[in-house]
Amino acid sequence: MLDQIHLLAAVTVLGVLEQAYFVLQVIYARRVFGISPPKISGPPEFERIFRAQVNCSEYFPIFLALLWQAGLFFHQGLAAALGLLYLYARYCYFIGYRASSSKRLAPMYFGTGILWILVAASALGILHFFLSHYVGLNVLQLLAA
């Protein structure tokens, strides 16, 4: 079983390490700007770093859910590759947002695009499974014939 998920597991752990990096950046920014918990408001420079981390956290479960469905039902290698691209897009998003609100946009669109590809891969893979499981229709075999 593990050989069907080891690439997904590796990308998942990398994703956790990226989240840890973002959290450390917020802790560091709290020190620099002197904003102690539970406060979450401050100068825009701090709020951008804080919101960048919150946004990445919010998308993390969505990303993992899609990564694993696409990997299990479509193709593990492709899902893992898209996962790595997404983590790279999130890194660019965080660095961009820290610099200015507008610089978060390009990597945000890029990351969202990857998520939609993962949605499509998951949906196609699950649909293919439904068709062959319930209707006995194997689309791939039909296309190959």
Provide the binding-site residues for its own copies, judged by CB under 8 A: 1-6, 9-10, 12-13, 15-17, 19-20, 36-40, 44, 47-48, 50-52, 54, 57-58, 60-62, 64-66, 69, 72-73, 97, 101, 104, 119, 122-123, 126, 129-130, 133
CB 92 within 8 A of CB 107: yes
CA distance 111 to 27: 25
Supply the minimum distance, in Å, between the C-beta of residue 115 and its own copies: 8
Any catalytic annotation for residue 104? yes
Residue pair 107/98 in contact (Cβ under 8 Å)? The answer is no
**Which of the following is catalytic: 30, 48, 90, 104?**
104
Task: Evaluate whether 88 touches 136 at the Cβ level (below 8 Å).
Answer: no
Task: Tell me whether residue 13 or residue 140 sits nearer to its own copies (CB atom).
Answer: 13
Residue 87 tokens read as 């983590």
Is position 48 annotated as part of the catalytic site? no
Q: Which residues are catalytic?
A: 31, 104
